[in-house]
Structure 1
Amino acid sequence: MNVLGCVRATSYSYTLTTTGCPSTTEVQTSQCGATLPSIDSYVYANLVSGAQGYRFRVTDMTTNEVQTIDRALRVFRLTQLTNYAFDRTYMIEVAVRRNNVWEAFYGTGCSVTTPEATTQIQASQCNTTISNLNNSIFADIVPFATGYRFRVTNTLNPIDVQTIDRPIRDFRMTNLASVQYNTTYNVEVAVRNTNGEYLSYGPVCNITTPLFPTVGLEDAQCDEYLVGSNTETLFAESYPGVEQYRFLLENISLGYSQTVDRATRTVTLNNFTGLVPGEMYTVRVAIRLNGEWGPYGKSCSIITPGAFRPEEVTRVDANGVNEFKAVAYPNPFATSFTIDVRTSNTEAVSLTVYDMAGRLLEVKEVKAQDVTNYQFGDRYPSGVYNVIVTQGNETRTVRVVKQ
């Protein structure tokens, strides 16, 4: 200081009091620059004493979209925003509310990244054989995913790769344009991001398709069944999704073989030509699924109607003992049916009829030669019935169907 030409050194002490200066905070250090464990994990700001609320300004570093969310507490989740995505980095800044006013100043920005979501076929189905092409195959669920893409590769033909997009986490092999039976496929799953793009595929899982299913005539018409007339309906076993049934009728000794394709599971002998009355023929059935014909199923024997029984009626088994047989005809039946017993024994025959609930409906005991004189079923409702045929120590069960 210069006073009257005299220079002196001096010092001053000041006390500065400020009012109204902004308070700032930021995302806590442990989360800053980190990848969240899940897309809906909580994001925390550092606590500010006396703050009435926290405003989070979130900038998508890919799209530059800016969103804000106000919270009474110092925590929020990215899934609370209008727009969010997997595998995305966000810059997050925080402002506070004091004295009922949101302060205009934000603290230091901090980057937070959401995880990239992946999934795969659930463990219980991975490396298994499905029992039916219509079985649902499930991926592990990913919360907040908007869809799932399944990539299916035929291991026998690696260029046979098909993809199917689903809004839910399951698909069926029948959803594909083409699929083969008894074949192993590699199945990978990708998650659809919230912006419509698909993320990376997860681990590969093997799924094997079942053997081509087979059917035959229904059991009630399968064992040396005596067909009542050429117009009687023969029934193949049903199978879901069948497009066509192929009936193969053969008699090797006669050199006879003829097929008939049907849209339904029924056929009559009138659909075939050149049949010999009273002869035994074998019937096999194949089905067409997904545009492909499968192998023939079990072989069933039928006897064509005629004026006489074939020699097989009195045939003997390998031990030289007359074989005990019982067949019902017609079967299925519309009004009533008759039991034909083939035996050399002269003992009386017992006929007992039960419904499928095990209720006893009818009992008859008749001479062996008179069995065919009795008819059953005229008072039965439509359904399936078991007829127990007993002669001495021999017992046979015949299943009949009333239409």
Structure 2
Amino acid sequence: MVKLTSEGLRPVFWRIRLLLGKEWVRKALKPARQLAERLTINGYREYCTGPPSGRALVSYVVSPLLPPPRFRDRVLFSNWGLAQEIPRALNELGYQVDIIHYGNAAWTPKKHYDLFVGHGGHNFCRIAEALGESTVRIYFSTGIYWREWNRREAQRFYELAVRRGYLLPADRAIIEGEEEATSRAHGIIVLGNAEAVRTYAKYPIVIGINSAAYPVLWSGVAKNNYGPGRRHFLFFSGRGNVHKGLDLLLEAFADSGLHLHICQHLEPAFARVYRQELKASNVHSYGYVPMRSATFYRLAAQCNWVISATCAEGQPGAVIECMAHGLIPILPDAANIDLGNWGVRLPHCDVPTIRSVIHEVAMMPEDECRHRARQVVAEISESYSVERFRSSFKRAVATIVAAVRVGER
């Protein structure tokens, strides 16, 4: 009998996607996604070691927990892993957990909850009001303060218009305001370092925690030859061409003699504006590339660097995944990842700065690249493990709950 796991199912899915076309698959799966958004999970207690001592409600993502445990995704931590680990962390704290989708506008609580962990501005306030004041309310944010996020993105599009003359539509703007939700919360847990926490400065309790990457079994992490890879840079990213800084990277790599490998969906309007840069012999565009696919592994072996010029994040999960595979990060402060003495900081996200940095690191000695890559892998194993995320999340929840209980005395 053949055993199917999440690792085994992913290649099957991507073969179907290639054969039928991604647009057909997207349309075919849309009803399933809509159904999943309306589904709820009641009484989740897979990781409770005894009778639950409390009841928690999580408003985030439901679908990653619908399959049996052995079929659940163990590759994509954000957002699939987050959706699995948050309820597990709450189980380990003694809570039985009910889970709904953060966009579910029809669901209404019909029981008491000791704890509510919500995400996004879609239904947080409506649910918080229905639960009453005795419930501890935590806002879980995967990004910086929403107004600062939108301000930074708007600045990037303005700068693009000044440089190139084109007005492109916003690609990662937060449309559903979060102000009332963050104000109603007793505390906020945000993915990111102190830089991310600072954007929430006006709120009394804000705790930053690192995201994570699933364990890597790929043998290429221990590659021996770092010489050729010094000239190869991987841009591996979720959507948002301008938000993630691809426009700046394309301009910086133009006529550089260095290779930029792009793994991101290109919006048609963006591709038209940068059609000449995308045709350059040193620019290689692959479209969307799944994590831990054959193409991903080939590029991870070819490149020494993962680079991003993002304007706003919580923490970019795609970059963390590349770091777990031994790529050295080149990042701005906006990525909210502490770079230690192994990463490379982009002090400014402008074309001259990026161009200067990529030429400088391309000359880095091979032994130095090898040393840094090993430090990166060690840092991910230590500070960005799934276990570290879970323990950090539990500690943050306990801190907020304790602060609320002290305030009630």
TM-score by length of 1: 0.22
More strand per residue: 1
Larger radius of gyration: 1
More helix per residue: 2
